[in-house]
Each structure stands twice: as structure tokens, then as C-alpha cells.
Amino acid sequence: MELRSVVRLLVLSASVFAPGVLSAFGYTSSGNNYVIDAGSANPLVFSVSKSSCDINSIKYRGTELQYSNTGTHIGSGLGSATVSVSQISGSSRYIKVTCVTSTLTHYIVVREGESIIYMATYITAEPSVGELRFIARLLPDKLPNEYPYGEVSNTSGASATVEGSDVFIVNGQTRSKFYSSTRFIDEDSHCVYGGSDLIHVCIMTPQQESSSGGPFFRDIDSNNAGDSTNLYNYMNSGHVQTEAFRMGLHGPYAMQFSRSGIPSVKNLDVSWFGEVSVTGYVPASGRGTVQGTASGVQSGMQGVVHWYNSNAQYWAKTSSSGAFTSPLMKPGTYTMVLYQTEFKIATTTVTVSAGQTTRQDIAGNFNTSRNTLFQIGEYDGQPTGFRNADKFLRMHPSDSRMDSWGPLTYTVGSSTLSDFPMAVFKSVNNPVTIKFNLASAPGAATLRIATTLSFAGSRPQATVNGWSGPVPAAPTKIDSRGVTRGAYRGYGEIYTVNIPAGTLVAGTNTITISSVSGSDGDAFLSPNFIFDAVELYTA
């Protein structure tokens, strides 16, 4: 062969696999794997096991990103599944891998020309491990960094553990995969990234209609565990679980590969998903919406409307005027809730029909006039402003960066909000003391203690000037650690203490609020509850 011909052949061969040149869309069978080429300008080629559905190789722009010891998969791997592959033509060309077990069908789809792995997971029963998650296990030397919360979940190089095997000490700081979480309502994309090419691998979930927990639920997004960098889509878990798991189709969701920065879920098109025949998928034409106006939300707080039933959940923020429009919803009858930030102030019901917009207003009446003697915090469903509330989402309560938990004394009129603890732990800072002055004795009064989450049966008992209020009934149990995992949202119990006339006096008064429980525990795993607001008022 002439030298010129050899050179031309080498150049042509190189160009086929060079970034910026479309690679060959399609799939091949290679041993125990299906090898799928997305046909994208920045080539994405990955392999799926024919026997387990594990993704065991991911090459983006020729760079291997998959951790070799463990695959990318559902749960901790399906173990075995019936795996098939097909090419489908519609508005585009697609390759679909279908993995079937007795209770689960997982779909892996690529659309020609895109460096995106689309997925959806259909279940008829919760996995036996008690959680439904997708986890990509990737190479930490290629993708060492996390977005958006940086090192809070990077446990590489840990020197010790604080709790069990999931909270670690790294360079004197507490870190855990739990500290990577974001409220569902705030989710856009969460990513791992690195390398000289600054490759980003991002998970995007356009909606979590089949997950559980509502708009403010948070779950693990990512962590660099040393051996592998892990990227998650948690669909169901027992991490502060407040409602039953939902069956059906979870997704579509996507894992996108990029060199041009961080992609946004707002730009992710999944409207074509109905073309690839996925069990449980409901297209836009089979859905309806709800429009209306929300009222009664405290000034300065965000109104949020939440719809849910046993099959699906949705949410929408209200405008400054209170107007809202729901996402496209599956037909059915829904409980409809209005929150101010995260505090529930109204509930009603609404029925959604396919192809129709239903009008349903909702009005809260919590913020009615009353004679407030003092109030600590706001009724927003969060421990906003209290001591360590600015830190606990991303670190353990024992972290050296935390301010002292106390026990603390808060003096009405002179203390700052951060002088009041966000939580009371039975074995750490019990009780919290409130001191205040009254110009005159008010007679009978009401102490309202709003909480966001309880652990190990903890609830508040109040003592007023030596008078002991009743011990409330135990709250509904949530079988999960809470604040130590950066969680604060549970059922949001509100406790009302009726203070008899003659208890409060003119001059100095003292209230203590204690964590009481029939259970015990050490330090931050002792029974505890998280404050939302404390208010003393008369009618």
C-alpha cells in the first residue's frame, strides 16, 4: 500500500473516534456484554452485562470512568436478570436495554447523538433491601469532586467513624454521604467531576412522582468514598421515611456526560419517552393540571402547594400573588396541602382528569390574630435561625465546627435567635431555659411548641415557674436517625400546653423545655426533637 494511502487510512481511523466527530450509533454483542454506542460527538460507549444488568464499562471521549470492582446498577446490583436489547426508530433512533426480575423492570435508553444514559425503573414491590436506588460507581482519580456541596460527603482518607459505618472523620471534620442531600423541590442536577478535560457526570430527575416524602424530602446524592466516587438517584428509602413507598414507574431520569459545564434538568427533554414502550409511562396527553390561588401564607414566606395520593406526588411554588399551576399529573383524586415554606397551613382535596385543567383554590387560616407574649422562631417548618441550624445539614452535631449545644438559656428581649438550640438532646443539652418578664399577670395562657422531627420517642415537656406541664403522648415513630444524618423533616408535631391562671406572674418568669422519652441513648443518639417555633400567647 502506498504511504499516502496508509496515512489517509490512519487519519480516517483516528477521526472516527476523535471527540467532536459522531461515532457509530448502535450496539454489538461482546461476550457477556451488550456494548452500546450513543453515536455522539463526544463519544459515549458503555457495556451492560447480559446476566445481571450491571453497567461494567463507561467510556466517555475514550476515557474509562467505571470503577472496575463493582458495577453501576440498581440497588447493590440485581444479581441476575433477564436482559434484552433492541433498536427503535421514532422521532429519533434509540437503543433500549430491558432488565427484568420478578418484581422489577429497569430500562436503559440512549437517543442517537446524545451523551446521556436515560433510565426508568418499574417496580411492583419494594426491593428486599428496603430501598430503591440507582448508583453509578465511578473512578475517583477521574471524577474526585462533587457538585453542588463539595467535600461534605467526601469520606476518602477517613481516620475514624462517629456513628456506625456511615459518618466519618476526615481531617478533623465529620463527613457522610447523607450530607450531600437536597430537597426534592430544589433538585436540579447533582454531579461528580474532574480530570484535565473537566468531565462532569450528572444525575437529573425531572420529577419524583413515584418517590415518597413530598417536596421537602432529601436523600443521598453523591459521595467520594475513596475506592469509588458514587453518584445516586434515590427513589425510595427508609431515611426518615414519613409515608408508604409508591410502586409503579420511577422516572425517566438521566445520567448526562458533559465537558461544557453543569447541565440543567430544565433543558432535559424526555417527552419522547413514550416512543420506546416503557411499562407505566403516562404521556402528557394522559395527564391533567390544577390551577388556583393560595392565600393565608405569612408575608415573606414561600407558598408551596403539594398534591399526593398512594400512586403519585407533585408540588409547585406559588407566585407573589399566590397563583400556582401544578405539573402535569396522573389522573386521580389527591390530597392537596398548602405550606408556608415547609409549615402546613391548609389541606383540601382535588380530582385531576386527563386532558383537563381543574380549578382549585386553597386558603390557610393559621396566621390569625392572637395576643402573643413572646415568640421564638418562625412557623416555617424548619429550625431556621436557631443555634447550629446553619451547619447541621452538612455535618454531624458533634463536629468541632458546631457552636456549643449548651444547655442554653434564652432571655426574651436580649438574647439573639442563635442563643436558642435547634434541637434538644436528652443526654447533651437538656433542658433549654427561657426567661422573660411580664408587666402584669396574664391569667391563663397557652404555650405552643412546634417541632419538625422527633427521634426515639422524644417530645417536649414544659415546666413554668415550677408548675410541670403534662408529658405529651409519644409521637409517631420514624425508624431512622434524623439530625445526625442532616435531616430535620418528619411529621411536624405541634404540642400545646395549657398554662393555668396564676402560674405566670408579673415580673420574671421561667420556662424550661425538656426532651422526655421512655428510651435512652448516648450523646447525639439520645432521644431528641428539633424546634420549629415556640410561642406563648393568650386568647
Q: Which three cell numbers stand for residue 314?
A: 407533585
Q: Which residues contact 88 (CB under 8 A, 6 or more apart)?
A: 94, 95, 96, 275, 276, 277
Positive or negative, the CA dihedral 360, 366, 367, 368 is: positive
Q: How confident is the model at residue 2 (pLDDT cuts 50, 70, 90)?
A: very low
**C-alpha dist (Å) from residue 200 to 78, 255, 263, 412:** 26, 10, 9, 50
pLDDT digits (tens, 9 = 90+) for 217-249: 999 999 999 999 999 999 999 999 999 999 999
User: Domain 19-276 maps to which CATH number in 2.70.98.10, 3.60.15.10, 3.40.50.2300, 2.60.40.1180?
Assistant: 2.70.98.10
Q: Are strands 73-74 and 528-538 parallel, antiparallel or unpaired?
A: unpaired
The pLDDT value recorded for residue 368 is 87
Residue 3 pLDDT exceeds 50: no
Whole-number Å distance between alpha carbons of 18 and 43: 8
Q: How far apart are CA 229 and CA 62, in angstroms?
A: 19
Tell me the per-residue pLDDT of 507-516, one tens digit each, with 9 for 90 and over. Answer: 999 999 999 9
Over pLDDT 70: what percentage of the chain? Answer: 96
Q: Mean per-residue pLDDT for 451-466?
A: 98
Using pLDDT thresholds of 50, 70 and 90, give the confidence band for residue 119. Answer: very high
Q: What is the pLDDT of residues 405-449, one digit of tens each?
A: 999 999 999 999 999 999 999 999 999 999 999 999 999 999 999
| Cα–Cα distances in angstroms (integers) from residue 338 to residues 218, 307, 378, in the given order | 19, 9, 16
Cβ atoms within 10 Å, residue 87: 13
Contact of 318 with 299, CB cutoff 8 Å? no
Instruction: Give me the residue spans of the domains in the chain.
Output: 19-276, 284-363, 371-538
- Across all residues in the chain, what is the average pLDDT? 94
Phi first, then psi: what are they for 430, rounded to 5°? -95, 125
**pLDDT confidence of 12, banded at 50, 70, 90?**
very low
Q: Can 284-363 and 371-538 be said to share one CATH topology?
A: no
Instruction: Determine the average pLDDT of the residues in 379-400.
Output: 98
Distance CA 83, CA 99 (A): 4
Give the pLDDT confidence score for residue 491 in this predicted structure: 97
- Residue 251 C-alpha cell reads as 422516572
* Residue 4, pLDDT score: 39
Q: Which three cell numbers stand for residue 457?
A: 420517642
> What is the CATH code for 371-538?
2.60.120.260
CA 192/CA 211 separation, integer angstroms: 23
Per-residue pLDDT band for 22 (boundaries 50, 70, 90) equals low
Is the confidence at residue 1, as pLDDT, over 60?
no
In the three-class reduction of DSSP (H, G, I as helix; E, B as strand; rest coil), residue 319 is classed as coil
- Residue 517's pLDDT is what? 97
Q: What is the CATH number of domain 284-363?
A: 2.60.40.1120
Spatial contact of 490 and 477, defined as CB atoms under 8 Å apart: no
pTM over 0.85: yes
* Burial of 29 (C-beta count, 10 Å sphere; 0-12/13-18/19+): exposed
- Give the rounded distance of the alpha carbon of 4 from its chain centre: 59
Q: What is the pLDDT of residue 21?
A: 52
Task: Give the other-Cβ count within 10 Å of 468's Cβ.
Answer: 11
Are 380 and 342 in contact by the 8 Å Cβ rule? The answer is: yes
Instruction: Give the strand pairing for 371-376 and 459-464.
Output: unpaired
- The pLDDT of residue 449 is 98
pLDDT at position 128: 87
